[in-house]
Structure formats: C-alpha cells, structure tokens
Amino acid sequence: MRCGRFLGQFALAILMALAACKISAPASAKSEKTTGQEAARKPAPEMERLQKLYAGTWDYTETYAKTPSAPPYGAVGDFDGLLVMTWEPKESAYKSYVFGNDFPGCIVQTGHFEGDWLEFRSEFNAGGVTLKLRNVTRFLAPGKIVSEEYMAAADAPGKLFVSVDAKKRAQ
C-alpha cells in the first residue's frame, strides 16, 4: 500500500478540464447583459457530474494485487501523474488522458456512467502484446470512493491490478 498525490492532482485536472469545457450559447440566444458583463457560462451537465464527485482534495491508499508471477508486487515507489477527464459530445462519452512518469505519452480511455459507477476502458500495445484496461470507480458515500483497475493481456480475462480507496479531506 502507499499514499500519494495522484488524486490531488486529479482534482486539479478536473477543474482545469471543467474550465476548458464551458459552453456558450449562440449570440442570438444570449441573455441580456447585467451590469455590463456577460452572464456566467456553465459547464456541460456531464462535467458538472464529475465536478460534484471529484472536486476537492483527496487522501488515498493504493493496494496492488499480488500475482504468481510477481508475488512481492506492492509498493511501487513514488509515482507522479496527471489525469485529465473531459466530455466528448460527438461520442457521448467521457475521455480520460493519463500521463505518468513511468511511461511515455499518455493512455487514452473512454468512459461512461453505469448507474452510480463510472467505467473507463482502454487498449494499448506494450512490447508486442495488446493490453486492455478497465477502471471502475464506485462512490461509496459522500466523500468516499473506491476505484479498481483491471488488466488483461490480449483476450485473457481481466485481473485486478490495483484498488484505490480515497477519502475527501474536510474543507
């Protein structure tokens, strides 16, 4: 297990994505200006849903699964990363862009809410093998979430790779 900074940076990335995804009404539909300023623009409802769930400062603990091929797998040391989520209206899906210090480029994921949980999926090639990731985030209670990442090689069934328990800090 380890505690880290990833979700704190994650919350900041969500807020940056929210700022970038504001929607403006066409000029013909704009409301009249009050006190000489344009009415505040609101983020897309899908981004508001993410903001309600993730905005804030979080403490988290990661627990890595142990496998027969890697029994001591667990503490992986410091990891710096950035996760940016946004809404893609053309796909009617969330997009997640994961950047980390342990891999080049970024991992692009596509996600949807399934009831009260959020699921992201992605595929990428690593060393000639297609890896599939599935991340499921469940909201346990106000200020508490658990996120589980499953990994599969090629067409094998996914296995739990890491579980993240997060608790929102009091404001």
Could you state, in chain order, the average pLDDT of each consecutive group of 10 residues for the chain (171 residues)? 41 41 41 49 89 88 76 61 93 94 88 94 90 93 93 92 93 74
What pLDDT was estimated at residue 41?
A: 78
Q: Which residue ranges make up each domain of the chain? A: 2-22+41-168
- At the topology level, CATH places domain 2-22+41-168 in Lipocalin (2.40.128)
What pLDDT was estimated at residue 10?
A: 43
What pLDDT was estimated at residue 101?
A: 83
Among 24, 28, 30, 27, smallest CA distance to 44 is for 24
Contact 119, 109 (CB under 8 A): no
Q: Please, what's the b/e burial string for 112-126 (b: 16 or more CB within 10 A of its CB; e: otherwise)?
A: eeeeeebbbbbeeee
pTM exceeding 0.85: no
Show the DSSP H helices in the chain as ranges: 6-20, 45-54
Longest dimension (CA), the chain: 67
What pLDDT was estimated at residue 127?
A: 84
